[in-house]
């Protein structure tokens, strides 16, 4: 009797196994997706780069610490039907909008430098212009935020005595 119960349980679990194989794995999408086309020589991959699974009705927020004396490049990527990507850089203390890419026709990459260490909130959603209304309700895709950095170039100081 105990053996029959185990077989029944096994038969119930077998059909759910393939569902995990179909599920979207977005963990390293920023390393594998279209973001990688934006890799710049001289820049290193920042460890706070992120990837998430989202649908067109979601809004995602990333809180990221940017260290001073560095230049950064943000690159956003997603699946074709979810473009364009809309992102806003916010000051987390005042919730003031520092930059909104909507004003620049939804550019996907942005370069910025920080003299001092600063925390930013990056709010991201997708416009999904190529998706139908049914796909917007049902479609889930990956969103990648690739962040690259490099130290400020050392300025040559010309001392005269």
Whether residue 1 is contained in a domain is answered as no
pLDDT tens for 72-112 read 999 999 988 899 999 999 999 999 999 999 999 999 999 99
Query: How far is 66 from 146, CA to CA, in rounded Å?
Result: 14
Whether residue 56 is contained in a domain is answered as yes
Q: What does the block give as tokens for 42? A: 């001289």
Query: How far is 69 from 110, CA to CA, in rounded Å?
Result: 17
Q: Domain range for residue 105?
A: 24-151
Query: How far is 62 from 143, CA to CA, in rounded Å?
Result: 12
Average pLDDT value for residue range 136-160: 80
User: pTM score > 0.75 for this model?
Assistant: yes
Whether residue 138 is contained in a domain is answered as yes
Whether residue 4 is contained in a domain is answered as no
pLDDT of residue 89: 97
| CATH code of residue 45 | 2.60.120.380
* Residue 37: pLDDT band with limits 50, 70, 90: confident
Q: What residues contact 76, with CB distance under 8 A and at least 6 apart?
A: 35, 85, 87, 108, 109, 124, 143, 144, 145, 146
- Extract the runs of DSSP E, i.e. beta strands, from the chain: 44-45, 50-54, 59-66, 70-78, 85-91, 96-100, 109-114, 118-126, 141-151
Whether residue 57 is contained in a domain is answered as yes
Q: What is the mean pLDDT of the chain?
A: 84
> What's the total number of domains in the chain?
1
Whether residue 12 is contained in a domain is answered as no
Average pLDDT value for residue range 33-39: 77
pLDDT of residue 25: 85
Whether residue 135 is contained in a domain is answered as yes
Whether residue 6 is contained in a domain is answered as no
* Residue 18: pLDDT band with limits 50, 70, 90: very low
């Amino acid at each position: 009797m105990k053996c029959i119960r185990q077989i029944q349980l096994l038969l119930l679990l077998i059909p759910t196994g393939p569902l995990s194989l179909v599920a979207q794995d977005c963990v390293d999408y920023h390393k594998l997706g279209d973001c990688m086309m934006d890799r710049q020589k001289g820049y290193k991959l920042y460890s706070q780069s992120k990837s998430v699974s989202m649908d067109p009705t979601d809004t995602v927020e990333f809180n990221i610490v940017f260290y001073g004396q560095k230049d950064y490049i943000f690159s956003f990527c997603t699946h074709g039907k979810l473009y364009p990507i809309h992102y806003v850089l916010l000051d987390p203390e005042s919730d003031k909008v520092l930059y909104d890419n909507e004003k620049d026709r939804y550019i996907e990459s942005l370069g910025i430098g920080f003299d001092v260490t600063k925390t930013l909130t990056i709010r991201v959603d997708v416009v999904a212009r190529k998706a139908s209304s049914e796909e917007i309700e049902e479609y889930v895709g990956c969103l990648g935020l690739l962040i690259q950095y490099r130290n400020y170039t050392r300025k040559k100081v010309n001392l005269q005595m």
